[in-house]
Amino acid sequence: MLWPLLLSALYSPKSLAEQRDEYIIFGVHSKTPPLEWRNNGVDQGFHLELMRRIGQLTNKQIVVRRKTFQQLLTDVHDDTSPIDVIAVVSPVTIDRKLSQSDPIYATYAKAYTLQGKAFIHGWHDLAGKKVAIKKEAFVDVYITGQTQEFERVDVDLYETGFQRLIAGEVDVVIAENFVARRLLPHYPSIRSSSDPLIYGAFNFVSNLKNAQLMGKINDALRQLKLSGEYDRLINKWFGTGREKVDLSNTQQKMFWLAIIVSIISAIGMLFTGFVSLSLKKRTRALNLELAQRKRAEHQISNLSKQFQSVLDGIPHGVTLLNRECERLWSNDNNNELLTSSEFLFLNGGSFTLSNSLTQVLDSQNSLIADMIYRAQFWQLQIHFIGDDQAVILLEEATEQHNLRQANDEASRLASLGELSAGIAHEINNPTGIIIHSIAFFNDALKDLQLAANSYQKQNPFWLVAGLEPQHALVELNQSSITIEEGANRISRIVNDLKRYALPNISNEHQPIDLNDIVSVSLRLTANQTKIFKVNIQLSEPSPVILGDAQQLHQVMINLIQNACHACNPTAADDETRNIISIETGICDDKVFIIVSDTGSGMDSATLQRITEPFFTTRRSCGGSGLGLSVCSRIIKEHQAEMQFSSRLDHGTSIKIVFSSAPVFPTSQPLEQYL
């Protein structure tokens, strides 16, 4: 093949590189009919003729090198190989790393089995079977790197695979259509047993170093397609539907047949003319009908593929069954649940597919039920569709179930809020009595002081509750003060609770004292923060913003509770840990609140999701995952921003920045809030 090129280089003034540039070395697989073959020692074939025509358009001569398929693949990956171009099939879903031309001709691969074997509906039907795969072919490229449930048997040729199939060494051969069509007449016991499994396209392929050459080949290939010459070659080599046509013999036969027809036509010209006219009309009608059928088939095929793609893309399980529970079609999403013993009705009842299917088919009424599988919730629907068949729809409903639970929890919390408001009102009455009575006790103690002094002079050994009268009066006075302070504190907490439980009946924001929001929230959470060290740094004068005090109370209470949860009460003796800090202030005409702690902190993955509804790291401790989500919504309604910073084992800081400027400062002292 290359000897004429080398010999011409010895006797030509041109260099070997210059002469090499005038040729395209085309590697041909010697056992790939009907695309290439040798007839009477002459190389023929669709790819050869197409490549030679491309050579004419690119002013290059085509030199054919015949090798095995594996040798060609090795050469095309070798930068030093003399092979420039080969023709291979590539799966339509996978790009080869080498330089490729535009698609030349479409093909596909399907499964072939012995006569009498079951039809193969898809890859799942190959599970557990021995499947012959031609090594390095486009089927091999397609399945490489994918999970294979069948036992793969490598063969060098598809014909070898057919021979091993007859010998019983394999169960299935996955072969490319053109080659299999040539082989089937020689192996009558083998038949096509599936629809196309892989679609591929013939391409010219070359090493990346020949990218410029591939560009010229593509330009020539497009020119042939635009001129219609490409379609002529397609019709010549594939249009007859046979794998090979001997053009010379066919032309001779047609020539003699034409002479005979001409003689017969001369004898019966009128009759032949009438028949010819009828045949032309009939041919035009048949061609028109054939074209219409092809268009209809093409549209139906496209529609079928689109419909299949839509069904396969549905995230929910869709399965079509008959009365015998035979699966007629499925998109294979979560169908294993239907036969699992852990797939139960929501009330705990066991589910049996055959019983439920028979119930729907007999009654022709749909069955819709909520199911549970381990920790997941599902909705099962079985619908009668006629012909003793039913469709099963399986949709995961875990999120909807959680939403229902959250709604129920919110309703319970709302009821608890109303109940708390009523309890607060009831507590206020005895608290008022205590405050009123203790004032009387304080005044009485002042008057009793003189009487006690006089009586002690008369009875020096007189004791009050086991104490000396003066000491007892001091203790009574101190206890009275303590009771009064406690009652006032109860009154403040109850009032704060009542204000927090009031419904938000207006969307209009009012001026509110930010320090007051912090103070009220601390009083409501005093029972939780009492075991921690709380540092409070409130801006003076206190910032005032437009907002809803009830909603901001809810935000601050939630942030303080989260800080308490992050701290470890068992490490209360460690002065560097378990510190909760709250700060208010104004910076750059913007009001802010900072709540920080020195607790466990969060990693970056948790930090990105903390405002998502139902996301919580305290699920086992009763956390619902709604706290920060609600806080985020309230802060956005106040046109503010929550800024989070956290590190594992270093604590968390949450800063709320109100975008609007403060309304006006107040000068009330902090003591009125504490």
Chain Cα centroid distance, residue 601: 29
Mapping DSSP to helix (H, G, I), strand (E, B) and coil, where does residue 642 land? strand
Q: Is the pLDDT reported for residue 49 higher than 90?
A: no
pLDDT over threshold 70, residue 6: no
Query: Considering only 162-166, 224-228, 346-350, 466-470, which range has the smallest mean pLDDT?
Result: 466-470
**C-alpha to C-alpha distance for 501 and 494, rounded to whole angstroms:** 10
The pLDDT tens digits of the residues spanning 263-297 come to: 887 788 887 778 888 888 889 889 988 988 888 88
| pLDDT of 24 above 60 | yes
- Using alpha carbons, select from 478, 458, 333, 438 the residue that is nearest to residue 393: 333
Measured between alpha carbons, how far is 439 from 180 in angstroms, rounded to an integer? 107
In b/e form, how buried is each residue of 158-175, taking b as 16+ CB within 10 angstroms?
bbebbbbbeeeebbbbbb
> What residue type is 53 in one-letter code?
R
CA gap 390, 369 in Å, rounded: 16
Does residue 246 carry a pLDDT above 50?
no
Spatial separation of the C-alpha atoms in residues 29 and 136, rounded to whole Å: 13
Amino acid occupying residue 123:
W
CATH architecture for segment(s) 3-238: 3-Layer(aba) Sandwich (3.40)
If you average pLDDT over every residue of the chain, what do you get? 79
Burial 234-264 (b: 16+ CB within 10 A, else e): eeebbeeeebeeeeeeeeeeeeeeeeeeeee
Please, which residues bridge with residue 89 across strands? Answer: 202
Residue 666: band (very low, low, confident or very high) from pLDDT cuts 50, 70, 90: very low
Stretch 55-73: mean pLDDT, rounded? Answer: 84
* Domain positions in the chain: 3-238, 247-309, 317-396, 397-503, 508-674
CA distance to 21, 101, 231, per residue, from 218 (Å): 17, 6, 16
Provide the pLDDT for residue 168.
92
108-133 residue pLDDT tens:
899 999 998 999 998 889 999 999 99
Q: In whole angstroms, give the CA distance from residue 526 to residue 330.
A: 59
Tell me the three state secondary structure of residue 572: coil
Query: 508-674: which CATH number, 3.40.50.300, 3.30.565.10, 3.40.309.10, 3.30.2350.10?
Result: 3.30.565.10
- Overall fold of domain 317-396: Beta-Lactamase (3.30.450)
Q: Are 92 and 200 in contact (CB under 8 A)?
A: yes
User: Long-range contacts made by residues 628-637, C-beta under 8 angstroms, separation at least 24?
Assistant: 628/558, 628/562, 630/554, 630/558, 631/554, 631/555, 631/558, 631/559, 634/548, 634/551, 634/552, 634/554, 634/555, 635/555, 637/548, 637/551
